[in-house]
Each structure stands twice: as C-alpha cells, then as structure tokens.
Amino acid sequence: MKISYKLTLLILLVVLFLASAKKAEEPPKGKELVDLILQFDNVAGNKDLVLNSVDYTNASGESFNVSQLQYFVSNMKFLCPNGKQFTVNQEDSYFLIQEHEPATQTLKLKVPAGEYNKLTFLVGVDSLRNTMPIDKRKGVLDPSNSMDNGMYWSWNSGYIFFKMEGTSNAAPEDPTGNRRFRYHIGGFGGYSARTINNIKAITLDLSKGGIVKVKKGRNATIHIKADILKTFNGASNLSIAGHPSVMFSEYSVNVANNFSKMFFHDRTVN
C-alpha cells in the first residue's frame, strides 16, 4: 500500500515535471542547438558609421563625428510563430559590441533549429548579473575586460551599458581645449537604494524583413542595424551644446530612451 502510494506520487511528480518543462521554454524542434548569427551594423541615418573621419548632423542641427561607440547586448530570446520561445543560455548571452572591433559585431548564438519571427534582447546587462559574485563575471563581463574597455563603473559598482564619444563644434571647450561630447550610460536600478534603471529591452519583429529559419550547417544570419542618430533624435532631442557630457545622472534616462529606438531589423539570410 505504502509503496504504491509512493510510486503514484513519483509518477505524478515526473508527469508534472515533464509537463511544466514542456510548458516552459521548450525548443521548437529537437534538442540539438545549432548556429544562428546576429550581425550588428552601426549606421548614422542612411550612412554607414565611420569613426572619426565622417561628420553627421543631428536633429538639433549640430554637426559631429564619433570617435568611439560601444554597447552591451544580452539575454536574447527567440519567439516562434506558434508562440513558443527559446531563451539563449544566459551565460553565453553577453556581448560587447565595439565599432572599432568589427569582430565584436558578429554574435554567434546557439538555438534549436526552427523558425522564429521575433527576437528580444537587452541593451545593457541585467540587474542580477550586475550584482553577481565576481566569479560569475566571465568573458566581456570580467573586470579585466569590461573595465579595461571602460565599460564598468568601479566606484558605483555596475556596467556602463552604452558609450558614445566624439567631437562637435557645438560642444563647449573642455579643460583639454577640445570640443568633445561624452555619453556614458548605465544604471541598473540600484543595489540597496533605488536609482535610475537604463536597461532597455528591445523587441524586433522579423516578419517584414524575413523570419529566420535556423538549420544545422546554414549559419542563418539576422542583420540588425543600429542607427546612432536615434541617440540624439527621439522623444527628447539630445543637444550636444546643451548636454556635452551625460553620465550617471537623471538626464541619462532620456538618452537611454532615445537609443532604445535605434535598433531595427534589416534583413535575414537563411
């Protein structure tokens, strides 16, 4: 009697576990993970972004060039037309995109074969990872990596999510005599006291530009453009003259809201 009760309970638990596992993030087809590429291309309006040598104009009519562009993307999730979804293994989902290092713009992900019509990701690093023990900070999140790239605030523990610097005649002269703008945007919401949260969730609908059909050996590639002009032009236009330097401040929320609109799906190569 006792044994059969235990057995029943065990079967019930197994069934429940399987059911819940199925309901959660079950890969659409099979369990084998295959390659999917996210290719980021940073642009300025309809021009390709070129560091230092090319001038662009923002909505405030200010001419500027860009000397540095870096941002973190993380926590990718893919949605299928049938409503199922797949979350990329979180440990493998942190990337630092750097305009000066073209190799960083190609993100190799592992997902189950299948069709996906939507992609979501974060610009920045989730709050949990910002507060994790130091031994959980690997790859681009390792202090010897992100800090050396200037993408970590040691004094206010947390990653810098987005960094763009450049030169503009609209910027006031700084103490070095240069006219530069500096945007260092971060803030994960605070550890023991609440503060600004500039983590941005991006959703890209792939149906117009082509849904992705992931197959083994095909290296399906989703091309994403990031238009840096959107950093300036948005719900509140960012003027270089008015805000030549935006770092950890309330105003940074406006800049983050602007750049959260800079990503769009260009095309898919299946």
Partner 1 sequence: MNEFAGFQRPVNFPEPVYDLAKNPVTKDGFELGRKLFYDPRLSRNNTIGCGTCHIQAAAFTHHGHDVSHGIDDRLGSRNSPPIMNLAWSKAFFWDGGVFHLDLQPLVPITTLSEMDEKMSAVLEKLRQHPDYPGLYKKAFGTEEINSAKTMKALSQFMLMCVSSNSKYDKVLRKEGEKFTAEEEEGYQLFKQKCNGCHMEPLFTDYSFRNNGIPAGRNDDRGRFVITLDSNDAYKFKVPTLRNIEVTAPYMHDGRFYGLGQVLDHYRFGVQHTPNLDPLLEQGSGHGIPLTDDEKLKVITFLKTLTDREFLKNPLLSEQEGLLIYDK
Sign of CA dihedral 79, 138, 200, 60: negative
Asked if 101 touches partner 1 (CB under 8 A), the answer is no
* Cβ 246 to partner 1 shortest distance, Å: 13
Query: In terms of CB distance, is 152 or 263 closer to partner 1?
Result: 152
Nearer to partner 1, 79 or 147 (CB): 147
Residue (44 or 140) nearer to partner 1, CB: 140
Tell me if 176 contacts partner 1 by CB under 8 A: no
Stretch that binds partner 1, among 64-72, 74-82, 86-94, 148-156 (CB under 8 A): 148-156
Residue 223 DSSP class: E
Is residue 175 close enough to count as binding partner 1 by CB under 8 A? no
- Length reported for the chain: 270
Q: Where do we find the tokens 């149906």?
A: 207
Stretch in the footprint of partner 1 (CB under 8 A) among 14-22, 150-158, 169-177, 235-243: 150-158
Tell me which of 3, 23, 135, 217 binds partner 1, using CB under 8 A: 135
Report whether 151 contacts 70 (CB < 8 A): yes
Q: Is 100 in the site for partner 1 (CB under 8 A)?
A: no
Considering the rule CB under 8 A, would residue 249 count as an interface residue with partner 1? yes
Binding status of residue 209 toward partner 1 by CB under 8 A: no
Give the Cα separation of 188 and 147 in Å (integer). 17
Examine residue 195 and tell whether it contacts partner 1 (CB under 8 A): yes
Whether the CA torsion 260, 150, 152, 107 is positive or negative: it is: positive
Among 4, 178, 194, 235, binds partner 1 (CB under 8 A): 194
Task: For strands 118-123 and 63-79, give the pairing.
Answer: antiparallel
Going by C-beta distance under 8 Å and a sequence separation of 6 or more, which residues neighbour residue 211? 81, 115, 116, 117, 268
The minimum distance between CB 166 and partner 1, in angstroms, equals 22
**Closest to partner 1 by CB, 5 or 155:** 155
Strands (E), 88-236: 95-98, 106-112, 114-116, 118-123, 152-153, 158-168, 180-186, 200-205, 212-214, 220-227
Burial track 25-44 (b if 16+ CB lie within 10 A, e otherwise): eebbeeeebbbbbbebebbb
Q: In this complex, which beta carbon is closest to partner 1, that of residue 248 or of residue 264?
A: 248
Q: How many CB atoms lie within 10 A of CB 17?
A: 10
Q: Of the candidates 35, 41, 55, 142, which one interacts with partner 1 according to CB under 8 A?
A: 142
- Interface residues with partner 1 (CB under 8 A) are 131, 133-135, 137, 142-145, 147-148, 152, 154-157, 190-196, 248-250
